[in-house]
Amino acid sequence: MKLNYKRVLLVGMAFLLITAFWQAYDAIVPLILTNHFGLPQTASGAVMSIDNVLAVFMLPIFGALSDKVNTKYGKRTPFIFIGSILAIISFIALTLIDNYQLARVTAAGIPEMQGMTADMSAEAFVELIRKMTVELTIENPLPFIGFMATLLVVLISMAIFRSPAVALMPDVTVKPLRSKANAIINLTGTVGGILVLVLGIVFATSKNHYMQYTGYVIAVAAIMLVGLIIFMLSVKENKWVREMQEESVRLGLEDAPDTADGAQKRKLSGPELRSLLLILSSVALWYIGYNSITSKYSVYATNILGFDFNLTLIIAQAAAIVSYIPVGIISSKLGRKKTILAGVTMLAAAFFVGNFVSASTPEAVMYPVFILAGIGWATINVNSFPMAVELASGSNVGKYTGYYYTASMAAQIVAPILSGLFYDLIGMRYTFFAFGTVFVVLSFVTMLFVRHGDSKPTPAKSALEHLDVD
């Protein structure tokens, strides 16, 4: 039983373009909302949660729908193609509307950060600029209305194919190898994220308060398009799914199909259902903590710390890349649950230390913090999704993928709004990392009580066998 690394890498091209999109979206949309439209943090957080509101309803629908679709291109591939094309086009259109609003802001003479006086703190000056900008937005709300309408199209386009894209990995991978395969999928996705972060440095997205993002987004769209082309030309979904099903039956991992269309049906036992709910609760809690950081880190680093958020996030992503394959190997020996608990501990520790970093702290101090956070998050991600779909049968992987994303997206609805409320009431400086730390610690508690969905530790004869090397 060996993992086909090439096959998983090709399937991971869909995840690469998803990650590339969200890396760019999370970096520039909060800046646009705050700096170009003048929204306060609570309102900005509410807008940033719209994708999660849509995802709670749409991801399970499209995941279950893709379980039932049967085309010559497969179940998942049509969703990936259509959703990707729509997302690329609408994302570029979003920046064109922002350019119009930005022209109004600069024409009104609203100052940039460089105009700050010595008798005013950076945070106070940013707030002054924001109030001037929001008055301009209220005076003529049409650009904001157009921006929000286009934003909805972008987010719906991404929702069309996210669950089908993620469900494709377990579709073509037997259960014991899914943590290893998920490590490769996440590795591929992280490469997409790093490419976008490099583009952020090239385009200086953290340096210009009034930046036009069209060129940057076109470059991101090019990365997405390349990933899609590789996926469409290389992935043979129907053939690979059929081979996985045959191997699972041969190894005794699944029963032979019990329906004419090759589907299998199995109900969860009471203890399995409790474990599934605890897994989903853990997913929700650590996503609240993690997303409260990632959804506003560009704002926090730029406006409060004065740091280049692109470089810090690249370091975190690089740490994750180095970790993915070792984490997949470790989880195959220790089990998914223990490995996740270790990852949660690392993530909580990183966020806790982040509380003590201030604008007067050398920027380099943030690097080891984000290295630890990157390793911790990689450790969690490699194993959490396979735990959820471990309880699925071959015919409903898309539905269980939808459950997983319902939990994570519902959490991300709560995260930016609730954290934004704390930021507005108390200030980002004192609540930014503290909020994330609390919720990550809570996820450790719920994961302790999970009893199903783990992988069975598999002893290896050699280090080479772990890597499936002959």
State residue 370 phi and psi, 5-degree precision. Answer: -80, -25
Q: Which residue has the tokens 């950081």?
A: 293
Q: What is the mean pLDDT of residues 171-185?
A: 86
Task: Output the CA–CA distances (angstroms, integers) from residue 166 to 27, 178, 203, 228, in the order listed.
Answer: 23, 12, 30, 14
Q: What is the pLDDT of residue 247?
A: 86
Give the rounded percent of residues in the chain with a pLDDT score beyond 70.
90
Q: How confident is the model at residue 166 (pLDDT cuts 50, 70, 90)?
A: confident
Q: Which two tokens stand for residue 349?
A: 């520790």
In DSSP notation, 102-134 reads HHHHHHTT---GGG--TTS-HHHHHHHHHHHHH
Q: What is the pLDDT of residue 362?
A: 81
Residue 6 has pLDDT above 50, yes or no: yes
Confidence of residue 7 (pLDDT cuts 50, 70, 90): very high
Q: Is the pLDDT of residue 431 over 80?
A: yes
The pLDDT of residue 260 is 46
Nearest to 24 by CA among 158, 161, 170: 158
Q: Which of 64-73, 118-127, 193-202, 425-434 has the lowest mean pLDDT?
A: 118-127
Give percent above pLDDT 90 in the chain: 36
Per-residue pLDDT, 1:
67
Query: Which residues contact residue 165 at a Cβ distance below 8 angstroms, ignoring those fewer than 6 apart?
Result: 14, 15, 18, 76, 79, 80
The mean pLDDT of 147-160, rounded to a whole number, is 95
Distance CA 468, CA 470 (A): 6
The better pLDDT of the pair 233, 389 is held by 233
Q: What average pLDDT does the segment 230-252 reach?
A: 89
The Cβ of residue 61 has, within 10 Å, a number of other Cβ atoms equal to: 14
338: exposed, middle or buried (C-beta count within 10 Å: 0-12, 13-18, 19+)?
middle
Residues 6+ apart with CB under 8 A from 245: 254, 257, 262, 394
277-287 pLDDT tens trace: 999 999 999 99
* 390 pLDDT more than 90: no
* Phi/psi-derived region of residue 267, left when phi > 0, alpha when psi is between -120 and 50, beta in every other case: beta
Give the mean model confidence (pLDDT) for residues 283-296: 88
- Structure tokens that stand for 269 in this block: 């036992």
Q: Mind listing the domains of the chain with CATH numbers? A: 5-254+269-457 (1.20.1250.20)
Say what the pLDDT of residue 124 is: 76
- State whether residue 390 is helix, strand or coil: coil
Instruction: Output phi, psi for 457, to 5 deg.
Output: -55, 135
Mean pLDDT of 324-351: 90
Angle between helices 397-426 and 366-389 (to 10 degrees): 150
- Give yes or no for residue 265 having a pLDDT over 80: no
Indicate the average pLDDT of the chain: 85
At residue 155, does pLDDT exceed 90? yes
* Structure token digits, residue 350: 């990183």
Q: Does residue 457 register a pLDDT over 50?
A: no
**Taking the model in full, what pTM does it have?**
0.74
Higher pLDDT, 143 or 252: 143
pLDDT of 142 > 90? The answer is yes
Check if the beta carbon of residue 294 is closer than 8 Å to that of residue 354: no
**Under 8 Å between Cβ of 335 and 215:** no
pLDDT confidence bin for 119, thresholds 50/70/90: low
Using CA atoms, how far apart are residues 161 and 246, in angstroms rounded to an integer? 26
**Per-residue confidence (pLDDT) for residue 350, from 0 to 100:** 94
Confidence of residue 347 (pLDDT cuts 50, 70, 90): very high
Angstrom distance (rounded) from CA 390 to CA 5: 20
Residues whose CB falls within 8 Å of the CB of residue 93, separated by 6 or more in sequence, listed in order: 150, 153
Cβ–Cβ < 8 Å for 371, 144: no
Using 50, 70 and 90 to split pLDDT, how confident is the model at 21?
very high
User: Of 3-12, 104-113, 321-330, 360-369, where does the model show the most confidence?
Assistant: 3-12
Amino acid making up residue 466? H
332: pLDDT strictly greater than 70: yes
